[in-house]
Each structure stands twice: as structure tokens, then as C-alpha cells.
């Protein structure tokens, strides 16, 4: 599994800005259109329990404006399960969710959620969605996700990014090695490995170079960059960096 690396653009923070004032501007559906035009390979959104960014009414509007696959991040709750069963995202991704957090802080503790989640996974898969778990790059979590039937695991890159940005080169290297090893192990388990969280132009290259990864999900940095250069340029440049890294690593 060393082919094309896809970019899933997370549009949550367009909705964050909209919600800061109420009303309808800026519209996350418009961001989905622009991301599609700029060469994104997927649209990611997180319908949080507190609806702090994406809201229920956004789902169908976003579905209407893009042909791209939608990756719906969700907490493992009965309410979110019902919404996902109705909305039928191409991918339903289980993420941990705490109301007080600013963003998804850590990976899902797949080990502790076994009974509860296995049933949700099966119901989503029977309904036509692939199921992803957002987890730390930790073999114990990966094996738990595999036992529960995950099709995909997205490895949390937040710690790697923080270490790079703190100038902790050695620790960042160790974290990169953990992500690399988990990506290879996922493939052995028959799981599609993806990665994301916190990635920027300056940190994406070593992650994109991991040959087994099939997709990176990136949001906050792209939306921030879009303020200065526009969403089209921000998405195109991220894809260019990803493809250059992948081309070099698989030469
Ligand atoms: N993957 C998951 C599971 C996330 O929750 C998020 C943030 O919503 C991302 C990727 C994207 O992270 P960022 O917005 O920092 O690029």
C-alpha cells in the first residue's frame, strides 16, 4: 500500500467563525466547494455533541455541494450513531470528545470501549459506511481497533507536531518512528492507516513520506492560512508538499 496520498480537508473551523457571530457567514458548504476545486480528496467534519462548529443542518448542505467522500468525526454516543446512520458518511470516524477541550486532545481509548463500540461499528458498516478510529500511534490501541473491526485507523500526529514546534528533535523523531511502525502494522492487520491533527506546511513532509499512509486529515492550519492566501492556494500547496514527499519516499 504505497500509492496516492489523499488530503481530507477538515472544514470545521469555517463553522467556528460563523458561529462566533451566529448567522450564515462564512458558510462551511462554500469551503467544501473551494476545497473540492482546489484538489482535496475528501471533506472531513466533526459534528460535536455541543455543536460548537458543524451543525446538523450543515450535513445535507455539504453533501449536496461536493462529490467528495465525507469523513464524519463523531463521539461514540447513541445520538451520533443515529445521525450517522441517517447521513451515511463514506467514513464514520470515532473520536474521543470532552466538552471542555479546545480540540480533540488525544486518541480514542479503543482498549476500554470494546463492547460498546463493536456494536456501533457493525451497524455503521452494515449501513454502508467504513469505520475509522482516531487513535494514538500505539500498537495496543491498534490491536484493539482491529479486534473491533475498524476498516481504518487515523494516527494522531498532534504530539509529533508539538515536539517539532518545541524544537525537541530527538523526541519528535521517536514519535515519527512510532507513527511509521504503527502504519506498517496496520497494513499487516488489514487496516488502512491514515494520520492527522495539527499538521502544517512545516511538519507535513515527514508524515506524508510514510509510504503506507493513504490519507492525511488537515483543518485548522489550512483555514488559518486561507485567511492570508485563500483556501484554494492553501489546499493546493498542502497537496503539493504531500505529493512531493510521497514521490521522494517511494522513488
Ligand atoms: N483528525 C481528527 C480526528 C481531528 O479531530 C482533527 C481536528 O478536528 C483533525 C484530524 C484535523 O486536525 P487539525 O484541525 O489540527 O488539522
Under DSSP, is residue 215 helix (H, G, I), strand (E, B) or coil? strand
Task: For residues 168 and 105, give the distance between their C-alpha atoms in angstroms, rounded to a whole number.
Answer: 20
Task: For residues 13 and 21, give the distance between their C-alpha atoms in angstroms, rounded to a whole number.
Answer: 13
User: Which grid cell is 8?
Assistant: 481530507
Verdict on whether the full-model pTM lies above 0.85: yes
Ligand 1, residue 46: give the atom nearest the CA. Answer: 8
- Mean pLDDT of all residues belonging to the chain: 94
Residue of 13, 73, 156, 225 marked active site:
73
Average pLDDT over every residue of 219-223 = 98
Give pLDDT, residue 105.
64
Q: What confidence tens digit (pLDDT) does each residue in 113-130 have?
A: 666 799 999 999 999 999
CA 108 / ligand 1 centre spacing (Å): 13
Conformation bin of residue 112: beta by default, left when phi > 0, alpha when psi is -120 to 50 = alpha
220 lines ligand 1 (CB under 6 A): yes
Residue of 46, 53, 136, 212 marked active site:
46
Q: Which amino acid residue places its CA nearest to atom 15 of ligand 1? A: 198
Q: Is residue 152 part of a domain?
A: yes
Q: Is residue 237 part of a domain?
A: yes
Please name the helix (run of DSSP H) or strand (run of DSSP E) that holds residue 87, with its range, or none.
Answer: helix 78-87
Ligand 1, residue 12: give the atom nearest the CA. Answer: 8
Give pLDDT, residue 127.
98
Q: Is residue 115 part of a domain?
A: yes
Confidence grade of residue 90 (pLDDT, cut at 50, 70, 90)? very high
For residue 87, the cross-strand partners are none
Q: Which amino acid residue places its CA nearest to atom 5 of ligand 1? A: 104
Are 217 and 44 in contact by the 8 Å Cβ rule? The answer is yes
Q: How many domains does the chain have?
A: 1
For residue 102, the cross-strand partners are none
For residue 236, the cross-strand partners are none
Give pLDDT, residue 116.
76
The answer for residues whose C-beta is within 8 angstroms of residue 86's C-beta and 6 or more apart is none
196 lines ligand 1 (CB under 6 A): yes
Number of H helices, E strands in the chain: 11, 8
Residue 43 maps to which CATH number? 3.20.20.70
Q: Is residue 1 part of a domain?
A: no
Average pLDDT over every residue of 53-63 = 97
User: Which grid cell is 62?
Assistant: 455539504
CB count, 10 Å around CB of 236?
17
Domain that holds residue 170: 6-249
Residue 104 has pLDDT above 70, yes or no: no
The answer for residues whose C-beta is within 8 angstroms of residue 152's C-beta and 6 or more apart is 91, 93, 130, 131, 132, 133, 191, 192, 193, 194
Among candidates 198, 192, 240, which has minimal Cα distance to 2? Answer: 192
Backbone angles phi, psi at 74, to 5 degrees: -155, 150
Are 232 and 199 in contact by the 8 Å Cβ rule? The answer is no
Q: Is residue 28 part of a domain?
A: yes
Q: What confidence tens digit (pLDDT) does each residue in 185-207 have?
A: 999 999 999 999 999 999 999 99
Ligand 1, residue 73: give the atom nearest the CA. Answer: 3
199 lines ligand 1 (CB under 6 A): yes
User: Which grid cell is 156?
Assistant: 494522531
CA 77 / ligand 1 centre spacing (Å): 19
Q: Is residue 235 part of a domain?
A: yes
Amino acid at each position: 500500500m504505497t500509492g496516492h496520498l489523499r488530503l481530507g480537508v477538515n472544514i470545521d473551523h469555517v463553522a467556528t467563525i460563523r458561529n462566533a457571530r451566529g448567522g450564515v457567514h462564512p458558510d462551511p458548504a462554500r469551503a467544501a466547494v473551494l476545497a473540492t476545486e482546489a484538489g482535496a480528496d475528501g471533506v472531513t467534519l466533526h459534528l460535536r455533541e455541543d455543536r460548537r462548529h458543524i451543525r446538523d443542518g450543515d450535513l445535507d448542505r455539504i453533501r449536496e455541494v461536493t462529490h467528495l467522500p465525507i469523513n464524519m468525526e463523531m463521539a461514540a454516543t447513541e445520538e451520533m450513531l443515529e445521525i450517522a446512520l441517517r447521513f451515511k458518511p463514506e467514513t464514520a470516524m470515532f473520536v474521543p470528545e470532552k466538552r471542555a477541550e479546545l480540540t480533540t486532545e488525544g486518541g480514542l481509548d479503543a482498549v476500554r470501549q470494546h463492547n460498546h463500540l463493536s456494536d456501533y461499528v457493525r451497524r455503521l458498516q452494515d449501513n454502508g459506511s467504513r469505520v475509522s478510529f482516531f487513535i494514538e500511534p500505539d500498537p495496543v490501541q491498534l490491536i484493539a481497533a482491529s479486534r473491533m473491526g475498524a476498516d481504518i485507523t487515523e494516527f494522531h500526529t498532534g504530539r509529533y507536531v508539538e515536539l517539532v514546534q518545541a524544537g525537541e528533535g530527538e523526541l519528535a523523531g521517536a514519535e515519527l518512528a512510532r507513527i511509521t511502525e504503527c502504519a506498517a502494522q496496520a497494513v499487516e492487520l488489514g487496516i488502512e492507516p491514515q494520520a492527522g491533527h495539527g499538521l502544517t506546511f512545516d511538519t507535513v513532509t515527514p508524515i506524508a513520506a510514510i509510504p503506507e499512509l493513504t490519507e492525511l486529515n488537515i483543518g485548522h492550519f489550512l483555514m488559518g492560512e486561507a485567511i492570508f492566501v485563500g483556501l484554494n492556494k492553501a489546499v493546493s500547496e498542502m497537496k503539493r508538499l504531500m505529493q512531493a514527499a510521497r514521490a521522494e519516499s517511494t522513488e
